Structure 1
Amino acid sequence: MVNTAAVRPRCAALLLAAVAGGSLAEPAGLDPAVLARVQQLALTAARAAAPAQARVEVQLGQLDPRLRLAPCEQVEPYMPAGLSAWGRSRIGLRCLKGATRWNVSLPMQVQVIAKVLVASSPLPAGTVIAQDQLQLADTDIAAQSGTVYTEAGQLLGRTLAKPLAAGEAPRSIHLKARQWFAAGEHVLVVAQGAGYAVSSEGQALQAGLEGQEVRVRFENGRIVTGRPVAERRVEVLL
């Protein structure tokens, strides 16, 4: 399972020349050494969350050509907080040494190519996934949100909530939520903390649906809230 969350024309050339320490003239194109530095930052950020064997590709876009930026002796590229390093995103450039400080961002497209399970043929919504409907293929796992899968056991018997095209990777968003138990059933509640875990039985007050919190009542009347994680099993983090 893999839990999958760019440079514009004339002004971009000025910015990237400044990153290399050059003066802000009006070069006709991007400085290759500077472009490599910006791209390396994007690659490093994208690889941090990528599977070990994945191939990461970064395509930088362009700044808005209407921008007019003041000369700058030192420009720093950075990853803006809160923005994803995958898919369609942005990388920041800020002036650290110049008469006027400025801060802009460059659009970028980041692909993370990894071998994951995909549909071997078109599958309609409602399909219960079987082994012969899956195959491994190189896929851009950054193209969409949602967890992708590398082992068939993680998908077999799951029901599709949305259709899949041939070659499309089934993601968590395509799957119907599993129901681990019904309301009223007795479940095992496991409470985990730093270096320890305790367990006790209780009665589920709601159906245990994957990804949704559920309340469980113990014999002494105490009620706790946790997440269903398996058949008749609820996990509570302390």
Structure 2
Amino acid sequence: MRTTKLALILLMSCLSAPLLADTTAEQIRQATLEFLDGFAREQAAEGYTVSFEPGSIDDRLALAECEKPLSVEFSGDPWKSTSPSMQVACEGSRPWRMFVTASVSIHGPALVAARPLTRGERVTEGLLTKQSVEINASRRGVITDAQQAIGMEVRRSVNAGSLITPDMLSAPNAVERGDHVIITAKTGGFSVRSRGKALASAGVGEQVLVENLRSSRTIKASVVAPGHVEIPM
């Protein structure tokens, strides 16, 4: 009799206790689908076409119930990988997070070489054309704006039709060895100019040794523009 009463008490306590639901694999998959669909719509407004498929999630997965909508964000750059990772997180009273992957393909216009390019050649608008490519399939990145490439120098030979990537180009030297340059010495709102000769080649933002033609002193200066260097006073 005593055993029966104890069993009844335990049964009633179980029935009266709130049942804790789990966050299922299907709910996580749905959250990632909604996130990816939103990303695709955002990029469509910018002229890109995005196709996607969430990675597989073990159907046996069961995480703590989340009383708030699941938070999803990329933890890997979708523009540099066709299999970016995503973080799915619960911000509720029993927080958790997990990572899933997805297959993402981003197609859009990018610059390609209109003809073969040779090393050291200066890029002009006529050397470039645009075509639709899978942008995130290139781990080296792409260039979508011609203004980012025009005026740059080709670092190595490029075949016609090849995708132009940032590592193929470099900024041309703003100062060449032997060039006469304007040296500006600045302090506060006061500046003094003199003429000098570059002892090496350098691009904007780089440092170069310059001979002051008036004093014959050699100084280290920063290249600020073609033919112009600057030193602090």
Q: Aligned match of 2:206 in 188, 193, 213?
A: 213
Report whether the alignment pairs 1:119 with 2:90: no
Q: Could you say if the C-alpha distance between residues 235 and 62 of structure 1 is closer, same or farther in structure 2, counting changes exceeding 3 Å?
A: farther
Q: Which has the larger radius of gyration?
A: 2
SS state at 1:180 partner: coil
Partner of 1:96: 91
Superposition pairs of residues 194-205 of structure 1, within 5 angstroms:
200=193, 204-205=198-199
Larger helix share, 1 or 2: 2
**Unaligned runs of at least 5 residues, structure 1:** 1-21
Q: Is the 8 A contact 2:24 2:61 kept in 1?
A: no
Distance 2:223 2:58 in 1: 50
Distance 2:60 2:193 in 1: 63
Report whether the alignment pairs 1:76 with 2:71: yes
Distance 1:208 1:149 in 2: 27
Partner of 1:182: 176
Partner of 1:161: 156
Q: Is the 8 A contact 1:63 1:105 kept in 2?
A: no
Q: Is the 8 A contact 2:113 2:158 kept in 1?
A: no
SS state at 2:163 partner: coil
Distance 2:151 2:159 in 1: 15
**Unaligned runs of at least 5 residues, structure 2:** 1-20
- Give the AA of the match of 1:120: A
Distance 1:149 1:234 in 2: 32
Q: Could you say if the C-alpha distance between residues 181 and 84 of structure 1 is closer, same or farther in structure 2, counting changes exceeding 3 Å?
A: same
Distance 1:199 1:106 in 2: 60
Q: Which has the higher contact order (CA 8 A, sep 6+)?
A: 1
Q: Is the 8 A contact 1:134 1:152 kept in 2?
A: no
Shift of 1:231: 2.9
TM-score (norm 2): 0.56
- Give the AA of the match of 2:73: Y
Partner of 1:232: 227
Distance 2:192 2:107 in 1: 41
TM-score (norm 1): 0.56
Q: Is the 8 A contact 2:179 2:197 kept in 1?
A: yes
Identical residues among aligned pairs (%): 14
Q: Could you say if the C-alpha distance between residues 72 and 186 of structure 1 is closer, same or farther in structure 2, counting changes exceeding 3 Å?
A: farther
Q: Could you say if the C-alpha distance between residues 176 and 190 of structure 1 is closer, same or farther in structure 2, counting changes exceeding 3 Å?
A: same
Shift of 1:178: 1.9
The CA RMSD over aligned residues, in Å, is 4.8
- Give the AA of the match of 1:37: E
Distance 2:51 2:218 in 1: 52
Distance 1:56 1:199 in 2: 54
Partner of 2:34: 37
SS state at 1:169 partner: coil
Distance 1:148 1:199 in 2: 40
Q: Is the 8 A contact 1:146 1:172 kept in 2?
A: yes
Distance 2:60 2:202 in 1: 53
Superposition pairs of residues 6-21 of structure 1, within 5 angstroms:
none
Q: Could you say if the C-alpha distance between residues 162 and 29 of structure 1 is closer, same or farther in structure 2, counting changes exceeding 3 Å?
A: same
